[in-house]
Amino acid sequence: MEFKNGEIRGVEIKALSKFLDARGWLCELFRRDELKEADFPQMAYCSLTYPGVVRGPHAHNDQTDLFYFIGPGNFEIRLWDNRKDSETYGNFMRFYAGHDCPKSVLVPPGVVHGYKVIGTEPGLVLNAPNRLYAGWGRNEPVDEVRYEEDQDSPFSF
């Protein structure tokens, strides 16, 4: 499959504002009145990734991810619409976010996604998905379709 540049249905990218004062900064991540109920977070986690390292690409069958790239660090983010029933099937998006350009990114199920830390500083990512990892009590299968080890994958950095 060959992907083409274009917007992807259901992906929401929002610029975030950092409010600075003498103590540091504050950044509002989400408001319940700005999210659809189906996208309300059910858990949250953060991860630190070292410069040059790629996380992903992978997708979820049912889970929506709500990422926050606010720094430290900067990221190259890549998304591929792999949903055959989507009017934007086959579209690919690449953009940058992080310390220099804070953004939230809502990634719906079926959209393959990954990111790479660019520059020399490690990158911190927050995620507030709408599903629990491995389900309630961690007793269900993990909802991930991984492409990292597939040498023939069209989803690569």
Q: Does residue 34 sit in helix, strand or coil?
A: helix
CATH fit for domain 4-18+45-132, picks 2.60.120.10, 3.40.50.280, 2.40.50.140, 2.160.20.10: 2.60.120.10
Model's pTM, two decimal places? 0.94
DSSP secondary structure string for all residues of 42-89 = S--EEEEE-TT-EEEEEE-SSPPEEEEE-SSSEEEEEEEE--TTSTTT
The pLDDT tens digits along the chain (157 residues) read 889 999 999 999 999 999 999 999 999 999 999 999 999 999 999 999 999 999 999 999 999 999 999 999 999 999 999 999 999 999 999 999 999 999 999 999 999 999 999 999 999 999 999 999 999 999 999 999 999 988 889 998 8
d(CA 150, CA 114): 14
How far does the chain reach from its first CA to its final CA, in angstroms?
A: 15
Instruction: Kindly report the backbone phi and psi dihedral angles of residue 146, in degrees, each rounded to the nearest multiple of 5, phi listed first.
Output: -100, 140
